[in-house]
Amino acid sequence: MLAFIKLRQFIFALMLCGALVLLLSYFSLGRNRKNNLPLSPATRSPATSESPSAHDLPHFVSLDSDNDGIPDAAELQSFADRENFRRWFTLIAEGQFYHLSDQWNAEQRDCAGLVRFAWREALRRHDRLWFQKMGPGYTPIAPDVAHYNLEQGPLGEKLFRTNFGAYKEGELVNGTFSEFADARTLKSFNTKFISRDRHYAQPGDLLFFYQPWVQKFPYHVMIFLGTAKLTGEQAADWVVYHTGSSPTDQGTVKKVELSVLDHHPNKRWRPVESNPNFLGFYRLKILD
């Protein structure tokens, strides 16, 4: 009888221990699930955000996932932002043909200067004050670039890379990025070759020419507009460019169709594949 009572006590104690183990496991599992729940947008820190923006912690600026030299935070990640940039960029460039903006520094009016000016202004907030400063002829053509703007972006006014290589931390302050870029710098470090065939060009792409006998500025750049933004002209192969300045000539902005340039009296300025001086169409890395 005593042995039977001891056996029952042993079985009861064993069942009690098992129940305690199950109970502790349940609470432990619940705590782990709570800790692993995704954070809401309001509580997620920059370090856990799926889409870091230009305003996130500095280590996000150092990301260059495609190793093109431009930090991801300075590239336009969405289709809408890329299209809106293209529309502003080409509108501003075309506008200089009709009326040179006072905002475009007269000392920087050359072929690369037109690209720099249109690029910089395309990234600004296009509010009422902006339109007043730019001068006549501009109308809202698209929403502003939503996830990058010049005033708060990681590059600030220093939009242009000046050296080869993937982006490395610290290059925002060591001179690798600059407010200035000539045509060679734009081609070599800030754009990507697309094709020498115009059928692959998109509005906002750049055309480069190379004249090796011109010692000081052998590279020349034009902006492909596609369709005109400021007029009802039907052609879809417009380009705009500044002819460049000299000690005796300030140069001028020209707007012309590629089909017209195809018959330029000087063959080295023809944008055709058979012209060795025509380097082809290039796309801004922030759009690629």
pLDDT (mean) for 161-170: 94
Residue 34's pLDDT is what?
38
Q: Which residue has the higher pLDDT, 208 or 288?
A: 208
pLDDT band at 244 (very low <50, low <70, confident <90, very high): confident
Say if residue 279's pLDDT is above 80: yes
Residue 8's pLDDT is what?
52
- Using alpha carbons only, what angle is made at residue 282 by residues 228 and 77, rounded to the nearest 5 degrees? 85
**Lowest mean pLDDT, pick from 7-11, 107-111, 212-216, 273-277:** 7-11
**Lowest mean pLDDT, pick from 22-26, 46-50, 220-224:** 46-50
Residue-averaged pLDDT of the chain: 83
pLDDT (mean) for 179-197: 97
Instruction: For residue 57, give the amino acid letter.
Output: L
pTM: 0.78
Q: Determine phi and psi for 160, rounding to 5 degrees.
A: -110, 125
Best CA proximity match to 86, nearest among 229, 256, 241, 233: 229
Tokens standing for residue 225: 């507009």
Most confident of 1-5, 23-27, 131-135: 131-135
Buried-state track 171-192, b at ≥16 Cβ within 10 A, e below 16:
bbeeebbeeebbbebbbbbbbe
Residue 48's pLDDT is what?
35
Q: Determine phi and psi for 182, rounding to 5 degrees.
A: -80, 180
Say if residue 21's pLDDT is above 70: no
Residue 61's pLDDT is what?
60
Say if residue 42's pLDDT is above 70: no
Residue 13's pLDDT is what?
53
Alpha-carbon span 196 to 264, nearest angstrom: 17
pLDDT (mean) for 107-121: 97
Dihedral in degrees, nearest 10, Cα atoms 182, 185, 187, 190: -110
Say if residue 256's pLDDT is above 60: yes
Tokens standing for residue 127: 């509010």
Write out pLDDT tens, residues 51-70.
Answer: 344 444 344 566 899 999 99
Say if residue 5's pLDDT is above 50: no
pLDDT band at 153 (very low <50, low <70, confident <90, very high): confident
Say if residue 20's pLDDT is above 80: no
